[in-house]
């Protein structure tokens, strides 16, 4: 069944995988055509589920392979893993401070401007930039995972990269919704709200191909790149996704949905990889 996919070049594999993750963002944004509004508890649960997926993917699909690969390197395996992980978090922290954006939410009061001069931009632009900030490390992670497979040639690594793409797609669904629905509530047409909702996911194919290209030309960077992607995703999860899922008071629901998301991603990675 997967022979056709195995025979493709890593570039095409990465492109198809990240187009899938973008498609899931678009599918989430498309709820604006069928729903007038989404219950806040449902949205918080979806967001927490996404956080659980990102945490599990960060370890099972990125950090664990980074440690395994670094064991054959010239330095202790914890060095590239720790350096890459912290570099990813610090990089996203810096981007978060500079890039103007708002944290997505279903009500106007939940949209808080951050970065440089957020008041100078339209709210639709800030929402797209916020989810774009999420999607850059996610797309990069998928590209690096396929780069890992290209270097190793092991089908288990390909399965791990595919499971990572599936997990990223699952958690992209609520992200598309979290952009399109607030814009619709503020009076934007359904078509325009959908357009902005899916637009943030278009960066994933670009980031994915960038990650693949980097590890393909500089193989020693692979453990650092895997850990970098993990650190970036953990920063986004800890700084925005988890707090955002709990700020409306649905803490128990968010905690359980996060655990469900973690479990689903763990099963995907272990079963496929």
d(CA 38, CA 172) in angstroms, rounded, equals: 16
Does the pLDDT at position 262 exceed 90?
A: yes
Secondary structure tally for the chain: helices H, strands E: 12, 2
Is residue 264 very low, low, confident or very high in pLDDT (cuts 50, 70, 90)? very high
The pLDDT tens digits for 111-131 are 456 656 555 556 566 666 777
The whole model's pTM is what?
0.82
Residue % of the chain over a pLDDT of 70: 88
The pLDDT tens digits for 21-71 are 999 999 999 998 987 777 888 888 988 998 999 899 899 888 988 898 888
Within 8 A by CB and 6+ apart from 256, the residues are: 48
Beta-bridged to residue 114, according to DSSP, are: 101
């Amino acid at each position: 069944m997967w022979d056709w996919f195995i025979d493709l070049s890593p570039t095409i594999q990465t492109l198809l995988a990240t187009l899938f993750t973008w498609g899931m963002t678009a599918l989430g944004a498309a709820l604006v055509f069928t729903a007038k509004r989404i219950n806040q508890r449902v949205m918080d649960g979806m967001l927490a589920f996404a956080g659980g997926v990102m945490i599990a993917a960060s370890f099972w699909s990125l950090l664990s392979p980074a440690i395994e690969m670094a064991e054959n390197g010239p330095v202790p395996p914890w060095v590239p893993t720790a350096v890459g992980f912290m570099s990813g978090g610090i990089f996203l922290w810096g981007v978060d401070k500079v890039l103007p954006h708002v944290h997505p939410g279903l009500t106007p009061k939940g949209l808080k401007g951050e970065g440089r001069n957020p008041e100078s931009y339209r709210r639709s632009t800030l929402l797209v930039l916020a989810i774009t900030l999420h999607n850059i490390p996610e797309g990069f992670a998928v590209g690096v995972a396929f780069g890992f497979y290209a270097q190793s040639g092991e089908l288990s690594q390909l399965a791990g990269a595919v499971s990572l793409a599936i997990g990223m797609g699952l958690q992209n669904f609520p992200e598309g919704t979290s952009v399109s629905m607030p814009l619709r509530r503020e009076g934007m047409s359904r078509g325009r709200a959908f357009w902005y909702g899916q637009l943030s996911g278009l960066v994933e194919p670009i980031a994915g191909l960038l990650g693949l290209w980097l590890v393909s030309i500089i193989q020693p960077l692979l453990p650092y790149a895997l850990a970098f992607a993990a650190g970036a995703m953990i920063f986004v999860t800890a700084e925005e996704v988890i707090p955002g899922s709990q700020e409306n008071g649905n803490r128990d629901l968010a905690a359980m949905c996060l655990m469900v998301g973690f479990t689903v991603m763990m099963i995907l990675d272990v079963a496929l990889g």
